[in-house]
Structure 1
Amino acid sequence: MNTPLVSLIDAGKSYQDLDALKSVTMYLNQGEVMGLFGHNGAGKTTMMKLILGVISPSRGKVEVMGMAPDSKAAWHSRTKVGYLPENVSFYEQLTGLEVLSYFAKLKGFTKGRAKKQAIDLLEQVGITHAMKRPVKTYSKGMRQRLGLAQAFIGEPKLLLLDEPTVGLDPMATRDFYQTVDQLKSNGSSIILCSHVLPGVEQHIDRAMILSTGQLLAMGTLAELRQQAALPVAIKPSGLNGSLANDSRLNGFLTANCPETLLVPEQEKLSVLRQLLSHEGLDDLHVEAANLEQVYQHFLSLHEKQHELSLHGKQDESGERKS
């Protein structure tokens, strides 16, 4: 079994009375893309900072490339790590080329190689035309592209991306995901944190869902769908309302979607066979729950459990008073 590139074992971070990250266990393998999802304050950035070694865990263990990232021994391995923070900022007076050349030198590139790396990356993210302009003249989208270029310096072994597509137009977002796919194929491991869920799922291997510092779910999209037991939506066309008269199928219809069947995964094939027996059927569209629906399911479940817990505590306090 290969040693994970990143491992968190019961890792948590507390600030006085606040548990920013509760005991989380996760492993990231080489060449794997992990999607990290959660609302603001869920603990995503705290987890990234623990992996970067910027902060130390209050409990548990964090290892990156075989060592604690906050240890002195980990300094040399930081050149193999790329990071894009949620809010990027650079020296306003420097040009894009000067900014990237500077960061490339920090990562160990010689002066000549640093400039070449900077030019190549500026071309990759599509801002070559602005490379000799001061950063203060850049738009938000251009700054985000410059931030991505900075994170990609030296084809990092580990890449941490916090809201990487904020400020990017659809074309730039597409180009970004192509770069992620390329880095993955070259063996890089990536943790991708995003609020924008549509379009993410085909680029990640597994997903982690956090809420209030707690790990709610982790796995492939297929595994999370199975855990959530979300139905498959089957949309037939050409039946002109005849589904309502089919006793084997009308139980899967809902008032909100009169022409859509919401079917448990394990019954999908038998429902499809029954639909194919209808003479008027001219097309079928089968749609499994997407990442956004899976995310909302686990978040809603957590909120309900939290409410029940609060009611339980209130009832206990009421009983004690009486």
Structure 2
Amino acid sequence: MTSTVRIAEVGKWYGRIDAVSGASFELGQGEMVALIGHNGAGKTTLMKLMLGLIHPTHGSIRVLGENPAAGEFSARRRLGYLPENVSFDATLTGRETQRFYARLKQEPIAKAEQLLDVVGLGAAADRRVGIYSKGMRQRLGLAQALIGRPQLLLLDEPTTGLDPELRQTFYDAIQRLAAEGTTVLLCSHALTELEERAGRVIIMNRGVKVADGSLDELRRLAQLPTRIRLKISDLAPGEVPAWLPTSAPCRRLNGHVIEIDAPPEQKIDLLRRLTAAGTPVEDLDVMSPSLDELYAHFLRSAERPR
């Protein structure tokens, strides 16, 4: 896979504060990657380093084959960036704002204006940005970030203020771009959204990368239990199924519903036992550890004394 971004042992210090410490990773062409962490974990700092807005204290960064810290960073025209807090000239209309950014990127104005419809601002294109709501300004930020079909999209909390329908429209748009080869890096606290869409997750904690991989890879590393939830029609109050080994923690939720914490290596065996026992199951759910749970696990692991 062709690398769009290469970060090697990058650190960024502000006095005695390590905003980023020894971070190393690559982003491949067409990847959609979630960069997650608490406030102050170093996510926004990494994005600013990739953009060349700030320079690393040590380490090296290559973005689209160039060094962002160099005086001339021509690759910036091939980047799309949405900051967490967008700000535009309040006296311009949405359409005028898009035209301004299209000229900066030397892209066709007509195509840039079409993006206003993509983000649901077509009807408000000729209104002044000063009367836009926060959600409308966020949508305008998305529209400018998408100008020119960027090769790298850096999106910091991109769906803040968007309703569910527009969130789906937004993700549809960036998934199409990723399928066409755009690298997408998403920072967000909406982990449920990212779990459904990101092919890879990088977890930051206090400036340090503590985990990096697909959800399946992170689940294998974390070894968190899978929850198996069963609704059993003839289960008496307080009864535990005879086929359930004592090594698998089990709890009653309500009525005839029980929930089992199955270690990864026991999950298939438990389901086989269930089938072999002929237990009259009315409903069954198998729930793998969520991104929220994985995130909490890796942060706790990073805080433990070594």
TM-score where L is the length of structure 2: 0.94
**Which of these residues, 166, 169, 194, is aligned with residue 172 of structure 1?**
166
CA distance in 2, matches of 1:192, 1:240: 47
Could you say which residue in structure 2 is the equivalent of 1:66? 65
Could you say which residue in structure 2 is the equivalent of 1:102? 100
Whether the aligned pair in 1 keeps the contact of 2:66 and 2:75 (CA below 8 Å) is no
Deviation by residue 1:131-169 (Cα, 9 ceiling, x = unmatched): 111000100110000000010000100000000011111
Q: Are residue 290 (structure 1) and residue 290 (structure 2) matched?
A: yes
Q: 1:35: how far off?
A: 0.2
Could you say which residue in structure 1 is the equivalent of 2:24? 25
Could you say which residue in structure 2 is the equivalent of 1:81? 79
Distance 1:237 1:256, change over 3 A: closer
Q: 1:202: how far off?
A: 2.2
Could you say which residue in structure 2 is the equivalent of 1:320? none
Could you say which residue in structure 1 is the equivalent of 2:197? 203
Could you say which residue in structure 2 is the equivalent of 1:123? 117
Q: 1:272: how far off?
A: 0.4
Whether the aligned pair in 1 keeps the contact of 2:251 and 2:258 (CA below 8 Å) is no
CA distance in 1, matches of 2:270, 2:64: 48
Q: Classify the secondary structure of the residue corresponding to 2:167.
A: helix
CA distance in 2, matches of 1:240, 1:184: 50
Whether the aligned pair in 1 keeps the contact of 2:243 and 2:274 (CA below 8 Å) is no
Q: Are residue 157 (structure 1) and residue 157 (structure 2) matched?
A: no
Q: Are residue 252 (structure 1) and residue 251 (structure 2) matched?
A: no
**Which of these residues, 187, 192, 211, is aligned with residue 186 of structure 2?**
192
CA distance in 2, matches of 1:231, 1:239: 25
Q: Are residue 223 (structure 1) and residue 217 (structure 2) matched?
A: yes
Letter in structure 2 aligned against 1:301? S
| Higher share of residues assigned helix | 1
Whether the aligned pair in 1 keeps the contact of 2:12 and 2:18 (CA below 8 Å) is yes
Could you say which residue in structure 2 is the equivalent of 1:47? 46
CA distance in 2, matches of 1:44, 1:15: 15
CA distance in 2, matches of 1:71, 1:273: 60
Deviation by residue 1:68-124 (Cα, 9 ceiling, x = unmatched): 1121342x2111100000000000000000001000000013xxx31x123200011
CA distance in 1, matches of 2:282, 2:273: 14
Cα-Cα RMSD? 1.6
Q: Classify the secondary structure of the residue corresponding to 2:258.
A: coil
CA distance in 2, matches of 1:161, 1:138: 21
Whether the aligned pair in 1 keeps the contact of 2:223 and 2:263 (CA below 8 Å) is yes
**Which of these residues, 93, 98, 101, is aligned with residue 91 of structure 2?**
93
Q: Classify the secondary structure of the residue corresponding to 1:216.
A: strand
Letter in structure 2 aligned against 1:152? L
Whether the aligned pair in 2 keeps the contact of 1:184 and 1:190 (CA below 8 Å) is yes
Letter in structure 2 aligned against 1:141? G
Q: 1:251: how far off?
A: 3.5
Deviation by residue 1:184-226 (Cα, 9 ceiling, x = unmatched): 1111001000011112112111101111101110100001111
CA distance in 1, matches of 2:201, 2:252: 30
CA distance in 2, matches of 1:3, 1:196: 28
Whether the aligned pair in 1 keeps the contact of 2:248 and 2:263 (CA below 8 Å) is no
Whether the aligned pair in 2 keeps the contact of 1:67 and 1:73 (CA below 8 Å) is no
| Higher share of residues assigned strand | 2
Q: 1:302: how far off?
A: 2.2
Distance 1:54 1:248, change over 3 A: same
Q: 1:13: how far off?
A: 0.3
Letter in structure 2 aligned against 1:178? D
Whether the aligned pair in 2 keeps the contact of 1:100 and 1:149 (CA below 8 Å) is yes
Gapped regions of structure 2 (runs ≥ 5) = none
CA distance in 1, matches of 2:212, 2:3: 16
CA distance in 1, matches of 2:234, 2:131: 58
CA distance in 2, matches of 1:153, 1:219: 29
How many residues in Structure 1 have an aligned counterpart in Structure 2? 300
Deviation above 4 Å: which 4+ runs of structure 1?
Answer: 255-258
Q: Classify the secondary structure of the residue corresponding to 1:198.
A: helix
Could you say which residue in structure 2 is the equivalent of 1:318? none
